[in-house]
A and B are shown apart, each in its own frame.
Chain A
Amino acid sequence: MSIFSLALTVLIGVLVFVAFFHFSNFLLDYFQVKKSKKFAWENSIRVVIFIGPAFIVLFVFIIYPVFETIRLSFYDKLGDNFVGLYNYAWAIKDPDFKRSIINNLGWLIVVPTLSTFFGLVIANLADRIWWGSIAKSIIFMPMAISFVGAGVIWKFMYDYRGPGDQQIGLLNAIAVALGFEPQAWLTIPIWNNFFLMAIMIWIQTGLALVIFSAALRTIPKETLDAARIDGASELKIFWKIIIPYLEQTILVIWTIITLLVLKVFDIIYAMTNGQWQTEVLANLMYDWMFRGGGDTGRGSVLAFCILIGVIPILAWNLYRHKQDQKV
């Protein structure tokens, strides 16, 4: 398609929504003026206009699919016949599923921990150094890059050439310079998962960093100064004052990254496509959505497993929201 027709499509798509809100409200105002008396239904109709489109989208794209996916997980391949727990029984026996769960658990432990830790350490370092803001910008930059883009970047880092050849991947070049054999990093089972996790950590540390940076500024300076006057070392201040103070923030960052990691798909799809024992739930699900014409039952079971992973976070968020509303 040409630039022009694409631009036109985009314009029309957006204008439809602007037009809807404008004309429906315009009409409502018009009738209200005409009736001159307080139009009894005005408020209700206005509410419907305001929340209608968003509610329909919310219902069609989130609420209905959640229940539909759960329903489909009890149905067969095409979603026609009820099969009870058959798909779940399949999943428990499936070796790919088992490996995906183990890998996902690995991701859930390693990535949030290291991202949060690095983010916290770097935020602390950067705040005390005059070129800290440039450093923060650089470390934050991968946040803007797509997972696939990051995949290419790191695939290039991990590139492997035979032992005699000159290595063009930085990691192997370093390995060779240190006197080791070059490795095809992404094909070594179990360890390759960590090389994939490194990419996610590389990206998410930036997120942790900026949020911690903002939070660090809220620590009262007097507290820190008092501790310094008392002769506490920087390391001690870090562990005894800063970390306890940032407890809430750490928890929030942890949950954000956990949510991202549960859904991780792009990195693995781009780097190994689940080969060499690197598959995770989201990749296995994508695979089953299309493998052999697609199996909605098995795909739904896998999606449901991801949902189960977020339920504790969901409950915690709702609980906190309720606490906030009370105040």
Chain B
Amino acid sequence: MKKITLSSLFSQLLLLIFVIAWIAPTFGLFISSLRDKDVLAISGWWTSFATTEVNEIYRTEGKDAQVKEGDYYFIKSNLFGEDKGKQIFRFGVTSKNIDEYQVGESALFKDGTEITVLENGDYIWKSQEEFKKKKGKRVFVSAKSPPSFTLDNYKEVLFKEGLGQAFLNTFAVALPSTLIPLIICSFFAYALTWMKFYGRDILLATIIASLVVPLQMSLIPILTIYNDFGALFGVAAKSYPGIWMAHTGFGLASTTFLLWNFLKSLPQEMMEAAKVDGATHYDTFIKIVVPLSIPAFASIFILQFLWVWNDLLVGLVFLDKHPSEIILTAKLKELLGSRGENWEILTTGAFVSMTVPLFIFFSLQRYFIRGLVAGSIKG
């Protein structure tokens, strides 16, 4: 057992503050996405765990619901429609005095009819004459609302707001944009490491220089090429193959560099032995290098996949904004503009866009970190 010292206690406290500051924003978003949209708009997410007091207006049912028992006509129902776990503690029948009565007491409407409201929202409305109006009357209630969470926002966002489609689109962008660079760069890195040819060092230096070239340098020329290409062949300038190749281009330098770094570390004798046995470079690549590189592939796959999944700029420039092509981040940005006040849509949408990265993060964190650390040692 270590001694608990003042400095260790201080360290723990400091770290705890960091952790809370870092997790609170995401946690708040997640909780908010599970809250009812009406509650979300008027109270902070941190209040959602406590029982809150709310003042609400409900309407009773109209004449269709009445039954005659003895001399009186009754309408018996529940103000909430169904039991939602809310507890009414006071109620009223006029807007001037919304909490005039205790639960269980009988209140008189102006027309002489009498209503009794119970804690769970059940009410009995009693009248000597037949109810005539189709619409019911307003009842004001003060209720305690226990913490309640719902998946309604997710249904709304995925199916009505079109985020479900955007989710699929993002997969259709991200998978090839990750696999294509992995395929072509593994051959490239192999050649840079194990094949001798003129200009190899210059090519390697070019890769290292390309690592830091901002992709903004490429946007205008590539967009022009795509537009010309589209006009020449009469196809859309913005398309899935177009963005795959753009992402391949922007991820090429880092993917090659990471793979080159890894391949360099493989023992040279193994390659020589394969050569002596008469294996061609292609055989060596498929039978020796690929199986050995699986962990490196995994790390690079995760890095590039997350990069593409989270990208906004490339998606904005090289894909159309119509529903069959829009990606999650672009959709989310669009919602920020058009539904800026609808926090239930925004928080849920953001969380939907984060599901895949977070899943990868928690399940494959080891590879993710390994890739980042490998990439950071140089470059």
Q: A: which residues have CB within 8 A of B?
A: 1, 3, 6-7, 9-10, 13-14, 17-18, 21, 25, 28-29, 32, 43-44, 46-47, 49-51, 53-55, 57-58, 60-66, 68-69, 72, 79, 118, 121-122, 125-126, 128-129, 132, 135, 137-149, 151-157, 159, 166-170, 173, 202, 205, 207, 210-211, 214, 234, 252-253, 256, 259, 262-263, 265-266, 269-270, 282, 285-286, 289, 296, 299-300, 302-304, 306-307, 309-310, 313-314, 317-318, 320-321, 324-325
Cβ–Cβ < 8 Å partners of A66 in chain B: 213, 217-218
Q: Mark B266-283, 1 if CB is under 8 A from A, else 0.
A: 000000000000001110
B171 at the interface (CB under 8 A from A): yes
Cα A214 to Cα B375 with chains together (Å): 13
Is A132 a contact of B15 with CB atoms below 8 Å? Answer: yes
Which of B132-140, B149-157, B183-191 lies at the binding interface? B183-191
Contact of A144 among B212, B213, B358 (CB under 8 A): B358
Is A54 a contact of B256 with CB atoms below 8 Å? Answer: yes
- Across the interface, name the chain A residue whose C-beta is closest to B22: A139
Q: Mark B346-374, 1 if CB is under 8 A from A, else 0.
A: 11011001100110110001001100110
Query: Which secondary structure dominates chain A's binding surface?
Result: helix
Which of B65-73, B112-120, B220-228 lies at the binding interface? B220-228
Cα A3 to Cα B224 with chains together (Å): 31
Given contacts A270-B332, A307-B214, A325-B201, 14 further A-B contacts (CB under 8 A): A6-B169, A13-B176, A17-B180, A29-B282, A60-B222, A61-B252, A62-B253, A166-B42, A169-B44, A170-B28, A202-B22, A263-B214, A269-B333, A318-B205
Cα A309 to Cα B377 with chains together (Å): 21
Contact of B191 among A6, A51, A166 (CB under 8 A): A51
Is A10 a contact of B312 with CB atoms below 8 Å? Answer: no
Contact of B369 among A57, A210, A303 (CB under 8 A): A210
Interface residues of B, CB < 8 Å — how many?
113
Cβ–Cβ < 8 Å partners of B207 in chain A: 58
CB within 8 Å of A: which of B28-75? 28-29, 32, 40-46
If A57-B252, A153-B26, A317-B212 touch, does A303 touch B219 (CB 8 Å cutoff)? yes
Is B210 a contact of A58 with CB atoms below 8 Å? Answer: yes
Is B280 a contact of A318 with CB atoms below 8 Å? Answer: no
Is B41 a contact of A168 with CB atoms below 8 Å? Answer: yes
Cα A36 to Cα B277 with chains together (Å): 16
Chain B nearest CB from A146 CB (Å) reads 3
Is B197 a contact of A129 with CB atoms below 8 Å? Answer: no
Cβ–Cβ < 8 Å partners of B213 in chain A: 62, 66, 307, 310, 314
Cβ–Cβ < 8 Å partners of B353 in chain A: 146, 148-149
Q: Mark B186-200, 1 if CB is under 8 A from A, else 0.
A: 011011100101000
Closest A-B pairs by Cβ, 6 of them: A61-B249, A146-B310, A54-B188, A152-B350, A144-B361, A65-B218
Is B188 a contact of A62 with CB atoms below 8 Å? Answer: no
Cβ–Cβ < 8 Å partners of B361 in chain A: 141, 143-144
Cβ–Cβ < 8 Å partners of A128 in chain B: 8, 11
